[in-house]
Amino acid sequence: MHVTPDVVAEEHGWVRDRAAVVVPILNDTRSRLGDLFDTEVDAVDAETYRREVDVVFADGEVAVNVAGYARLLRELDVENDYPGFVVDEVLGRELAATIAGGQPLSLLAQATFHVADVHVDGDATAEGAGTAGADDLDAALAAGFQTRLPGWDWREGESPFAVDPDRTLSG
């Protein structure tokens, strides 16, 4: 695979156009996590997803990696699937983490990937169905974007752990 600016632009368009598939998975994942953690999480609409895809791809260093992971997963197939289970899981986790951003969101996205992945049927994906990486790609996009987008109460407002640089400690 050779990744060029044109390839990144193609992947941007492809990921952006996946809203009809990814957004329902994203919202289903948010609902499941909300139930698990006894909280309500705001749903995301297709336009919000598309705008955030644009934000992710506007950062060239992130865009080239997201494009590479997405293209690998779109093309990844392993005879009988199971022997390739590890590689598509690793790529999916890393794609979700890359989309989400730095710590702690990248770790949360990796964990969320597994929640989304077990509920995504590879046969339900519109494009890429039949490849080992198709369901992992959709789950990774859903996990990464659901993690970075607002809607979680704990992410609203300032963190109670932030240190005020003007505050002096005596000691």
Q: Is residue 156 part of a domain?
A: no
Q: Tally the domains of the chain.
A: 1
Q: Is residue 165 part of a domain?
A: no
- For residue 83, the model assigns a pLDDT of 65
Residue with token string 């974007």: 145
Q: Do 73 and 136 meet the contact criterion of CB atoms below 8 Å apart?
A: yes
Q: Give me the domain span that covers residue 18.
A: 5-149
**CA-to-CA separations, 3 to 15, 97, 127, in angstroms, rounded:** 16, 20, 21
Q: Is residue 169 part of a domain?
A: no
Tokens at residue 33, please? 């996590």
Each of the 171 residues of the chain gets a pLDDT tens digit; together they read: 899 999 999 999 999 999 999 999 999 999 999 999 998 899 999 999 999 999 999 999 999 999 999 999 988 877 766 666 788 899 999 999 999 999 999 999 999 999 999 988 764 454 545 677 888 999 999 999 999 998 877 777 787 788 878 776 654
Q: Is residue 159 part of a domain?
A: no
Q: Which residues contact 1 (CB under 8 A, 6 or more apart)?
A: 68, 71, 72, 75
- For residue 128, the model assigns a pLDDT of 47
